[in-house]
Amino acid sequence: MKAAAKAVASELAEAKSTPLRAPRVVVRVRPLAATGGHSADGKSVYKKLAKWHDGCVVLEDGHGQTEYKFADTILDTEATQDAVYEASAREITRAFVQQGYNALLFAYGQTGTGKTHTIFGPMESWTDVRHPDAGVFPRAVCEIFDTLIPVADSTSFVLTASAMEFYMCCCTDLLDNNKPCLIGADHAPLGLCTVPLTCPEDAIGFMERVRAARTTRSTQMNTAGNGHEGSSRSHCAMILTLRQVDRNSKMCMRTTLNIMDMAGAERPSSNGEGHESAIKAVMDYWRGAEVSVGGQGVIVNFELSALRTAVVQATAQHRKRKPLVNAKSLGTSFVEYASGCFSGSSLLAMIVTLSPAPSCGWETWFSCTYGEDLSQLRAPVRPQKPRLIQKVVAIAADTATKSAADLKKTPTSGPAAKYLQKRSVQARHDKQEADLFSSLLGMVGE
């Protein structure tokens, strides 16, 4: 007990002495569309995006102009995909590979403002992982290999990818037929199917599997057609996990880079839908009935609002230099998972996508206030500590053995059967971790 208390005290002291780091926030303004909700022909609303320049987004209404200066970089309508990656993701990707940091990048914005285009790249770019229009995700994969391949003589590594969808308050595995998955006590996913990425080109096949399984729908603000799937009606998290070991010292690290394409915020009226009860939407989903566009939208907006609240709460706690304790039950799997990154476990970056269309002023205002809240978050982010690979493998093997034993003694019926699903997922997760670390040890020898 005394040893545990000393460990906790040491952890708190280290957190208090760690410098607070701000997230990187980038704004990207999409071009006007020829037709539809993001064209110049839409009906004007009370607020409008007046201009964006010199690090400032300016909104205008009947009371005058309001300036938003939260962004580190503002990218114009003509910005290239390479410029977006350079401004938002290159720094945290390098820190993930070279410095032992976990990292989270997510794209937030109104439906149809280019989040999926930014993260995945347009369909025509999927023919070549190094295509000029490739998105943030394939560019990050290329950067990881470009960094590690030249040092292969001194460093061995295993890179794996997994993907989750958060839809209608639930969490499913996009690589395993959308089977339900669990979020652990540390806010990390449990038991996700993982695939190895052995070269940059593997990123394309991975994205194809994710796209095929993800929930999309054609809406008034984001129509499907010409290879475009329409509006993403779910949050999609693609997780790159890097296990690397120094061949000389035998010290290893496990880090994660989470790239998240969030579902678009929207007003129901902008998609031609009326307001709908969140309870009705969830009940329709569980009954297997089709959920309306308005029903999907109300759940998305609820989760985005809850995540914003988690950001504000984390900001207040870190400002006081108090440890952040995220409640295990924050409402939905998405909020539970994403809010865990605000404790200081990950470097953060955010891309806020905006539309200059006259009908989108209210959504643009909300996106700017969202970005403003995130830009104020300061967290004590620390890198992962290297550990001896033999010890890591031994601990992982012991953990997997214990999880398997717990599962074996769990009954399939009766009151105790309520633990069966969680223990089954936990056992699968722990075995997978043990196998991956064992393969890494095999690369460097005993």
pLDDT reading at 234 higher than 70: yes
Answer with the one of 385, 410, 430 that is the final residue of a domain: 385
| 112 labeled part of a ligand binding site | yes
Q: Are residues 256 and 305 in the same domain?
A: yes
- What is the average pLDDT across 64-78? 95
Confidence of residue 25 (pLDDT cuts 50, 70, 90): very high
The pLDDT score that the predictor gives to residue 221 is 42
The pLDDT score that the predictor gives to residue 309 is 83
Q: Give 199's DSSP letter.
A: S
321-366 confidence digits (pLDDT tens): 777 665 554 467 888 888 778 888 899 999 999 999 999 999 999 9
For 30-109, strand residue ranges (E) read: 48-53, 56-61, 64-68, 73-75, 103-109
Residue 441 lies in a domain: yes
pLDDT exceeding 70 applies to what percent of the chain? 83
| 55 labeled part of a ligand binding site | no
pLDDT reading at 420 higher than 70: yes
Q: Are residues 262 and 365 in the same domain?
A: yes
CA–CA dist 200, 173 (Å, integer): 22
| 297 labeled part of a ligand binding site | no
Q: Are residues 283 and 408 in the same domain?
A: no
Residue 288 lies in a domain: yes
| 109 labeled part of a ligand binding site | yes
| Residues contacting 162, CB < 8 A, separation 6+ | 173, 175, 189, 192, 193, 194, 195, 238, 239, 241
The pLDDT score that the predictor gives to residue 43 is 85
pLDDT reading at 416 higher than 70: yes
Q: Are residues 277 and 403 in the same domain?
A: no
Q: Residue 434: give the domain boundaries.
A: 389-446
CA–CA dist 151, 159 (Å, integer): 15
Q: Are residues 65 and 210 in the same domain?
A: yes
- What is the average pLDDT across 234-262? 94
Most confident of 167-176, 240-249, 361-370, 372-381: 240-249
Q: Are residues 371 and 443 in the same domain?
A: no
How many domains are there within the chain? 2
| 364 labeled part of a ligand binding site | no
Q: Are residues 404 and 326 in the same domain?
A: no
Residue 337 lies in a domain: yes
Answer with the one of 367, 385, 403 that is the final residue of a domain: 385
- What is the average pLDDT across 12-31? 82
Q: Are residues 397 and 341 in the same domain?
A: no
Candidate from 138-142, 147-151, 269-273, 408-412 with smallest mean pLDDT: 269-273
| 115 labeled part of a ligand binding site | yes
Residue 360 lies in a domain: yes
CA–CA dist 235, 436 (Å, integer): 27
Read off the CATH number of the domain in which 211 is found.
3.40.850.10
The pLDDT score that the predictor gives to residue 308 is 82
pLDDT exceeding 90 applies to what percent of the chain? 55
| 116 labeled part of a ligand binding site | yes
The pLDDT score that the predictor gives to residue 124 is 94
Average pLDDT, the chain: 85
Q: Are residues 252 and 296 in the same domain?
A: yes
Residue 7 lies in a domain: no
Q: Which residue has the higher pLDDT, 56 or 321?
A: 56
CA–CA dist 285, 180 (Å, integer): 14
Q: Which residue has the higher pLDDT, 81 or 112?
A: 81
The pLDDT score that the predictor gives to residue 388 is 96
Answer with the one of 385, 414, 429 that is the final residue of a domain: 385
pTM over 0.75: yes
Contact in structure between 72 and 227 (CB atoms under 8 Å): no
215-231 confidence digits (pLDDT tens): 754 334 444 445 445 44
Q: Are residues 380 and 409 in the same domain?
A: no
Q: Are residues 410 and 294 in the same domain?
A: no
pLDDT reading at 4 higher than 50: no
The pLDDT score that the predictor gives to residue 313 is 83
263-290 confidence digits (pLDDT tens): 876 655 554 455 666 666 666 655 666 7
| 340 labeled part of a ligand binding site | no
Q: Are residues 364 and 271 in the same domain?
A: yes
